[in-house]
Amino acid sequence: MSTDDHPQLYLITPPAFELETFPDTLARVLDGTEVACVRLDLASRDEDTVSRAADALREVAHARDVALVIAEHVLMAQRLGLDGVHLKDAARSVRAARKSLGADSIVGCFCAASRHDGMSAGEAGADYVAFGPAGISGLNDGLQAPFELFEWWSQMIEVPVVAEGALTAETVRQLAPVTDFFGIGSEIWSDANPAAALKALAGAMR
């Protein structure tokens, strides 16, 4: 993952999907809009389910030169030939994941709306820090990562930042000057045409 003059897209899979159809859907989405990275983020903890999904999506992503990371499963990331791991426990696992996966793998970390956790993750070796929800969400007790957090981070910290959660075109337009990536998932998968939905959100970044 790398940053550019304008934000890039970071795609997050649904928590569950049909293995027979979703890889084709993902392929259409990736063919329609440039995406930097895909995160396999399944709710299932069943290793066989996760492994089969990773194998299928790795083929789709790598054929398009898109990185594929997996949520939480550090050992599986290594075993399945994925590009890295996305951690959800603030900064607590970053150092161990970096040691396990090596310098060339992507290690990212979700830090909710905590500047302190984000800084700790960066110091521990994270390649990116994700804050969210960036939009207004009914989840997380109404917690929202405010514009000011992204603004401060973009001015003070070199580690790339991802804005994710409850994104709308309006939120994307507002945050585009102060974030490196937009993590987009449920915003498009609930749409009848995910490829068109992603293209619309991508247009708001410009």
**Which CA distances in Å does 124 have to 107, 118, 120, 128, 136?**
10, 10, 6, 11, 29
Q: Any residues with CB less than 8 A from the CB of 50 and at least 6 apart, and which?
A: 40, 42, 44, 70, 73, 76
- Render pLDDT for 58-76 as a digit per residue (tens, 0 to 9): 999 999 999 999 999 999 9
**Chain-wide mean pLDDT for the chain?**
94
For the residues 81-95, what does the mean pLDDT come to? 95
pTM of the shown model: 0.95
- Render pLDDT for 143-166 as a digit per residue (tens, 0 to 9): 899 999 999 999 999 999 999 999
**2: pLDDT confidence band, cut at 50, 70 and 90?**
very low
Q: Which residue has the higher pLDDT, 14 or 206?
A: 14
Residue 142 has pLDDT above 90, yes or no: no
**1: pLDDT confidence band, cut at 50, 70 and 90?**
low
Q: Any residues with CB less than 8 A from the CB of 114 and at least 6 apart, and which?
A: 90
Select 8-203's CATH number: 1.10.3720.10, 3.40.50.1700, 3.20.20.70, 3.10.105.10. Answer: 3.20.20.70
Q: Which residues pair with 163 in a beta bridge?
A: 131, 182
Q: Any residues with CB less than 8 A from the CB of 165 and at least 6 apart, and which?
A: 132, 133, 134, 135, 137, 139, 145, 183
Considering Cα of 199, then 202, then 204, then 206, what sign does the dihedral take? negative
Rounded to whole angstroms, how far apart are CA atoms 206 and 201? 10
Q: What is the DSSP string of 60-121?
A: HHHHTT-EEEEES-HHHHHHTT-SEEEE-STTTTHHHHHHHH-TTSEEEEE-TT-HHHHHHH
- Residue 144's pLDDT is 92
- Residue 138's pLDDT is 61
Residue 137 has pLDDT above 50, yes or no: yes
